[in-house]
Structure 1
């Protein structure tokens, strides 16, 4: 069973009560994210040691030319970009490009129809942002695969936030977190994606609660001023 579904079932009976209001719904999302975040941190303890002692791998183009079609795939946010990137700068199936980038890109595309119209726009824009961010790296003649992994993961947060992640979290949070399966956590790199996404969700929830409180304070002040 998927992690989000487990948490959802555990909180379903509670959500019909104190969490039934709009603000309560936001708080419930935050609680679910916190539970999943704890799971991620536990798994990270298991996979970090293997990551730290991993040998360095360098990808080299060895004369392979830059393909204009590959750059076009990057501009379009196509999952094909990861395949042609790997052909030019091969790190292997255990590194980011194939193990994480291509895997989650394909998964987002296969689950795209489950999202709202706004959610689908987010998926398209975020994926396009992440592939475009790797264009300059694709043009290089050599690249340390470990450094490439860090560079790629560092694009997730800005690409999600700048393309409306917080805006779709309310309606599409179920579909979004259903993209992640428990078994994914035990593949190197996937836990980083989980941690990043859950941290973003918690940030969004806190910002929304703050905004609701601010709007309520403004409304009360306006009522008091009008009555004065």
Structure 2
């Protein structure tokens, strides 16, 4: 449900002009592919707590994937670094301007599909996907938000394959399976 709201916000937010009131907490949250500290910094500003996006979702998954990232192929590690940086950069406004915990959550989820797709999720190997799904777990994929998110990523990968942007790996296998070729 949140993912669908987030998608709507992603479409409509460029149409809404807003003023930026800087957070009263000093310091700058810097996006980086080398750590997950961005989420701790954003939490120190927002105070969303353990159920907010930063501590309740982003930081645990970021730390968990970072812990096993050495198990990823070179391509998988490149995808993870690019995705981590993209997800953090997508929250740069929220890191600079006062906003609600709900907006942080919705804007963050709105960034997941484009960050995953643009960073090369569709080209990951089966072994990289296995590592990813071991971290995310069944509950992460089968929750309402997880299903919507993963469904949108799958749809994006199929579209990339059909447009000739992806011609390998699991996406090719998925399309061939859906077409009844396998």
Give the TM-score taking structure 2 as reference length.
0.68
Structure 1 vs Structure 2 CA RMSD: 2.8
Gaps of 5+ in 1: 1-43, 45-59, 213-228
Question: Residue 47 of structure 2: SS of its match in structure 1?
Answer: coil
Paired position in structure 1 for 2:43: 86
**C-alpha distance in structure 1 between counterparts of 2:137 and 2:158, whole Å:** 22
Q: What's the secondary structure of 1:181's corresponding residue?
A: helix
- Aligned twin of 1:176: 132
Task: Assess, with a 3 A threshold, how the Cα gap between structure 1 residues 206 and 170 changes in structure 2: closer, same or farther.
Answer: farther
Partner of 2:123: 167
Q: Whose radius of gyration is greater, 1 or 2?
A: 1
Secondary structure, counterpart of 1:85 in structure 2 = helix
Deviation (angstroms), 1:210: 7.4
Unmatched 5+ stretches in structure 2: 2-20, 168-182
In structure 2, relative to structure 1, the CA distance for the partners of 1:100 and 1:168 (3 Å cut) is same
* Contact residue 32 and residue 38 of structure 2 kept, 8 A: no
Q: 1:207 to 1:130 in 2, by over 3 A?
A: closer
Alpha-carbon shift at residue 192 of structure 1 (Å)? 1.7
Call closer, same or farther: CA 1:75–1:185 in 2, change over 3 Å. Answer: closer
| 1:151 alignment partner in structure 2 | 107
1:126-149: CA deviations, max 9, x gaps?
011111111221111x21211211
* Equivalenced residues, count: 146
Runs of 4+ that moved beyond 6 A: none
* Alignment CA distance shift 1:82-1:210 (3 Å): closer
Match of 2:76 in 1: 119
In 2, Cα distance between the equivalents of 1:183 and 1:210?
A: 31
Q: Secondary structure at the match of 1:63?
A: coil
CA distance in 1, matches of 2:124, 2:87: 18
Question: For 1:64, which of 13, 25, 30 is the aligned residue?
Answer: 25
Distance between the aligned counterparts of 2:47 and 2:70, measured in 1?
Answer: 32
Where relative contact order (Cα < 8 A, 6+ residues apart) is larger, the structure is 1
From the superposition, tell whether residues 169 and 154 of structure 1 become closer, same or farther in structure 2 (CA, over 3 Å). farther
Deviation at 1:108, TM superposition (A): 1.2
1:139 and 2:100 correspond: no
The SS at the match of 2:136 is coil
TM-score under structure 1 normalisation? 0.55
